Amino acid sequence: MTKVFQKIFLILLLAFSSNVLFGDDIGLEKIRKIVTDMSSDIKAEHIENSPVNGWYTITRGSYIAYISSDGRHLIQGDMYDIETQVNLSENLRNDSRKRILDAYPVKEMIVFEPQEKKHAVTVFTDVDCTFCRRLHSQIDEYLSAGIEIRYLLYPRSGPKSPSWVIAEQVWCSDNRNNALTLAKIDQKFDYQDCNSAAISSHYLMGQDVGLQGTPAIILENGSMVNGYVSASELSRIITANN
């Protein structure tokens, strides 16, 4: 983890109300300098205006923090709009996940395409996890529902683990789709030596989007669905998020 994730610079529990007084707003560019001076892992483009006056947001992957407009106070945690009961921080996370995945080439994923595509979801999967296997065993049902499944390989046990090695072998197969299907039922498949750096990229992306386990399903708008859901339930969730 980066320095900004290892240490909380200053966390204050503040009541958000019209009576809260802040110092002078020193402006976005000065705020960016303060934060980037504290951590080289946070870039200027990670710092933007906040939905709430008096604060700026720091967004890096799933990490969200808020810095006061005078540059004095930092709060780490979720911010809610009490009136609308909307989690403003989760909206920012969704936007961040969407940017991360939109920037990653689809050709660097393992894609199962339906005949008639209505939606596409990105699924972080581990070849060994029980619910990942359950989801994949029903792949035809997702495809029949018009849902394209774009897999990213996320061996939960980390680098050099048996799951990681199998993920690399899947990536180095001539037919990755078939190899992944066979790997999930503990069957052998053909593979050769190749550049398997994509597995590291998938793994790091999983951490960036705030993965808590597998399978993790990212919708087109960046929303995350944790765990297995059936094809019919996923269709309902997608519709509700459109």
What's the average pLDDT block by block, 10 residues per block, for the chain (242 residues)?
Answer: 37 33 77 84 88 88 87 86 89 92 96 97 97 98 98 94 97 98 97 96 93 94 96 96 82
Predicted local distance difference test score (pLDDT) of residue 1: 36
Residues in Cβ contact with 85 at an 8 Å cutoff, skipping those fewer than 6 apart: none
Q: Name residue 19's beta-bridge partners.
A: none
Predicted local distance difference test score (pLDDT) of residue 59: 86
pTM recorded for the entire structure: 0.82
- Identify the three-state secondary structure at position 92: helix
